[in-house]
Structure 1
């Protein structure tokens, strides 16, 4: 009986280990897929991602084609197309990689928005002032950074 209690405690302690922060959470799962530095190839993969997910409805906490939220879509997209593991939440994703100015964006950069007092939104830049994201109103779609709503809400960009 003591053995089972000790084993249970050890398993519980292992399960409660803290997650790494910042760049440490950006793990390479299968980096052989495509280099993020290759803008044309990245854009091609992102357009394929859009084709596969277009219209998928927004669902807070969702992680499937039945419904996905913005950070879940970004996480799944980078995993599927580039073999990269990202953190789950927008807040955590906003801390990975390095800051990049809006004027120096390239395909594959993450773009972040402050959509409310404490609400954040994330998408993936695809070029030509456009980004791919899971919109709360229209699901997975492409939007323009020049759109008056997104222009006003823009917060920061990160390069992985």
Structure 2
């Protein structure tokens, strides 16, 4: 009697421990059967393409003049005006106007997680989030730096920027951001 009881216990224990191993396979089959795996890959590719488009578009504005309060190539850009214009033109999202508002409206990420298209913030005026740029990869960002200067690429590892780094943020469609292509009243 003792052997069947022991055997039952072992079988029960084996089945309990085997269930979690089957779960990922079942989940994978479910996602595949519903076509969700390909949709996830499409979303991932779409995000990557938009970030690449954003960086390429921003690089096209190298040399545009700085202008306090500016938000177009015709008038010149300040830092947050440049970021706002690039996101609106390329991604279709309308970000808030000021750097500190852009920081508040985006998702905090670790510096190690930076990807092209993310926002990088700096304390350049003795206050948090007083300057913003767009991360382009390889430790570099593009921004409109200051009066008398032009849109340019900088290395975040340079002492000036590394000492003033305030954090990184990721832009994602959220209730605090609006899609520029929407036609619903009150969203533009």
2:63 is matched with which residue? 55
Listed one character per residue, the Cα deviations across residues 53-88 of structure 1 (whole Å, up to 9, x for unaligned) are 111111110122131100000000000010011000
Gap runs ≥5 in structure 2: 1-42, 172-188
Matched pairs, number: 126
1:108 is matched with which residue? 117
1:141 is matched with which residue? 152
The answer to which structure, 1 or 2, has the higher relative contact order (CA under 8 A, 6+ apart) is 1
Under a length normalisation based on structure 1, what TM-score does the superposition of the two structures give? 0.71
Higher helix share: 2
- What RMSD, in angstroms, separates the aligned Cα atoms of the two structures? 2.1
Cα deviation, residue 50, structure 1: 1.4
Under a length normalisation based on structure 2, what TM-score does the superposition of the two structures give? 0.61
Higher strand share: 1
Gap runs ≥5 in structure 1: 1-33
Change (3 A) 1:108 1:69: same
Contact 1:96 1:158 in 2 (8 A): no
Matched, 1:82 2:98: no
Runs of 4+ in 1 over 4 A off after TM superposition: 34-37
